[in-house]
A and B are shown apart, each in its own frame.
Chain A
Amino acid sequence: MRRLNPGLLLWTLALLLPLATLLSLATGTVTMTWSTLWQALADLFDDGDLSNQAAMIIFNIRLPRSLLALCVGAILATSGAVMQGLFRNPLADPSLIGVSSGASAGASLVIVFAANGMAFGSTLGLTVLGLGAFAGGFAATVLVYRLATTSSGTSVATMLLAGIAIGALAGALNSLLSYFSDNDMLRQISLWQMGSLSTANWPKALLIGAVTVPLMILFPRDSRVLNAFLLGESEARYLGIDVQRVKRRLILLTAFGVGMSVAIAGLVAFVGLVVPHLVRLLIGPDHRWLIPGAALGGAILLLVADNLARTLTSPAELPTGILTALLGAPFFVALLVQQRQRF
Chain B
Amino acid sequence: MPVRLVLAGLLWLVFAAGSFAEICATDDLGNRLVLREPADRIVSLAPNITELLFHIGAGEQIVGADEYSNYPEQARKIPRVNNYAAANYEFILSLEPDLVIAWQSGNGEQMVRRIRQLGLPLFVIEPRTLTDIPDLFERLGALTGHDREGAAKAATFRRRLDRLRAEFSGKTPVRVFYQIWNEPLITLNGEHLVSAVIELCGGKNVFGEADPLVPYVNIESVLGADPQVIIASGSSDESPAWLDMWRNWPGIDAVQNGHVYFIPPDLMQRHSARILDGAERLCRYLDLARSGRDDSR
Binding site for B on A (CB under 8 A): 28-30, 53, 56-57, 61-62, 117, 119-122, 179, 183-184, 186-187, 191, 194, 196, 198-199, 310, 313-319
CA A62 to CA B224, docked complex, whole Å: 13
Known A-B contacts A121-B245, A315-B210, A316-B211; the reply to A62 vs B220 at CB < 8 A is: yes
**Distance of A119 Cα from B243 Cα, bound (Å):** 10
B242: A residues at CB distance < 8 A: 119, 121
Residue of A117, A121, A319 contacting most chain B CB atoms (<10 Å): A121
A317: contacting residue among B84, B218, B224, CB under 8 A: B218
Establish whether residues A317 and B216, one from each chain, have CB atoms under 8 Å apart when the complex forms.
yes
- Beyond A61-B218, A191-B184, whether A179 also contacts B245 by CB under 8 A is no
Q: Is the CB of A119 within 8 A of B207?
A: no
Q: Could you tell me if B235 and A317 are in contact, using CB atoms closer than 8 angstroms?
A: no
Q: How far is the CA of A121 from the CA of B248 in the complex (A)?
A: 13
B265's nearest neighbour on chain A, judged by CB, is: A183
* A56 cross-chain contacts in B, Cβ below 8 A: 251
Residue B221 lies at the interface, judged by CB distance under 8 Å to chain A: yes
Q: Is the CB of B217 within 8 A of A315?
A: yes
Q: Return chain A residues, CB-CB under 8 Å to B220.
A: 28-30, 57, 61-62, 310
Decide: A29 and B218 in contact? CB cutoff 8 A: yes
A sample of 23 cross-chain residue pairs with beta-carbon separation below 8 angstroms, ordered by A number, consists of: A29-B218, A29-B224, A30-B223, A30-B224, A57-B220, A61-B220, A117-B241, A179-B85, A183-B68, A183-B235, A184-B236, A191-B184, A196-B216, A198-B185, A198-B218, A199-B183, A310-B218, A310-B220, A313-B212, A315-B221, A315-B224, A317-B184, A319-B216
- Chain A nearest CB: distance from B106 CB in Å? 14
Asked whether A119 and B184 contact (CB < 8 A) given A183-B68, A315-B221, A315-B224, the answer is no
By a beta-carbon cutoff of 8 Å, the part of chain B in contact with chain A is 68, 84-85, 181-185, 189, 207, 210-212, 215-221, 223-225, 235-236, 240-242, 245, 251
CB distance from B237 to the nearest CB of A (A): 11
Give the nearest-CB partner of B68 in chain A. Answer: A183
Partner among B84, B184, B207 whose Cβ is within 8 Å of the Cβ of A196 = B184
Residues of B within 8 A of A183 (CB): 68, 235-236
> Does B223 contact A120, Cβ atoms closer than 8 Å?
no
The residue in chain A whose Cβ has the minimal distance to the Cβ of B70 is A183
- In the complex, what residue of chain A is closest to B236 when comparing beta carbons? A184
Residue from A56, A117, A316 having most chain B Cβ neighbours under 10 A:
A316
CB neighbours of A61 from chain B (8 A) = 218-220, 223
Q: Hey, which chain A residues are within 8 Å of B189, CB to CB?
A: 316
Is the beta-carbon distance between B219 and A315 smaller than 8 angstroms? Answer: no
Q: Contacting B223 at CB < 8 Å: which of A53, A186, A187, A199?
A: A53
In the complex, the answer to whether B235 meets A184 with C-beta atoms within 8 Å is: yes
User: How many residue pairs between the two chains, A and B, have CB atoms under 8 Å in the bound complex?
Assistant: 81
Shortest beta-carbon distance, B264 to chain A, in Å? Answer: 13
Q: In the complex, A68→B285 CA distance in Å?
A: 37
For A314, list chain B residues within 8 Å (CB): 221
Most chain A beta carbons < 10 A, residue from B84, B207, B251: B251
Contacts of A120 in B (CB 8 A): 183
Contact B207 A187, beta carbon cutoff 8 Å: no
Complex-state Cα separation, A30 to B219, whole angstroms = 10
Contact A315 B68, beta carbon cutoff 8 Å: no
Cα-based distance from A29 to B85 in the complex (angstroms) = 35
Contact B210 A121 (CB under 8 A): no
**Considering the chains assembled together, what is the distance between the CA atoms of A319 and B236 in angstroms?**
26
Query: When the two chains form the complex, which single residue of B207, B235, B240, B245 contacts A315, counting CB atoms closer than 8 Å?
Result: B207
Cβ-closest 3 pairs across A and B: A316-B215, A315-B221, A119-B241
Decide: B210 and A313 in contact? CB cutoff 8 A.
yes
Whole-angstrom distance from the CB of A198 to the nearest CB of chain B?
A: 5
Which residues of the other chain, A, contact B68 by a CB distance below 8 angstroms?
A: 183
Q: Which residues of A contact B245 (CB under 8 A)?
A: 121
| CB <8 Å contact, B182 and A121 | yes
Residue in B207, B216, B217, B220 with the greatest tally of chain A CB atoms within 10 Å: B220
Contacts of A117 in B (CB 8 A): 241
Q: Please, how many angstroms separate the alpha-carbon atoms of A174 and B93 in the complex?
A: 30
Question: Roughly how many angstroms separate A57 CA and B248 CA in the complex, as a whole number?
Answer: 12
CB distance from A262 to the nearest CB of B (A): 15
Closest beta carbon of chain A to B41's beta carbon, Å: 28
* Chain B residues, CB < 8 A from A313: 210-212, 215
Separation of A27 and B215 alpha carbons in the complex (Å): 19
| Supplied contacts A121-B183, A196-B184, A315-B215, 11 more A-B pairs, CB within 8 Å | A28-B220, A30-B220, A30-B223, A53-B251, A121-B182, A122-B241, A184-B235, A191-B184, A199-B184, A310-B218, A315-B221
Whole-angstrom distance between the Cβ of B168 and the nearest chain A Cβ:
26
Most buried by A among B68, B189, B212, B235: B235
Measured between alpha carbons, how far is A153 from B295 in the docked complex, in Å? 69
Residue among A62, A199, A318 facing the most chain B CB atoms (10 A cut-off): A199
A198 to B217, CA, bound (A): 8
In the complex, chain A residues whose CB is within 8 Å of the CB of B85:
179
* Docked complex Cα distance between A191 and B235 (Å): 13
Q: How far is the CA of A196 from the CA of B220 in the complex (A)?
A: 15
Return the chain A residue nearest B180 by Cβ.
A187
Q: Is the CB of B241 within 8 A of A57?
A: no
Say yes or no: B183 contacts A315, CB within 8 Å: no
Nearest A-chain residue to B242, judged by Cβ: A121
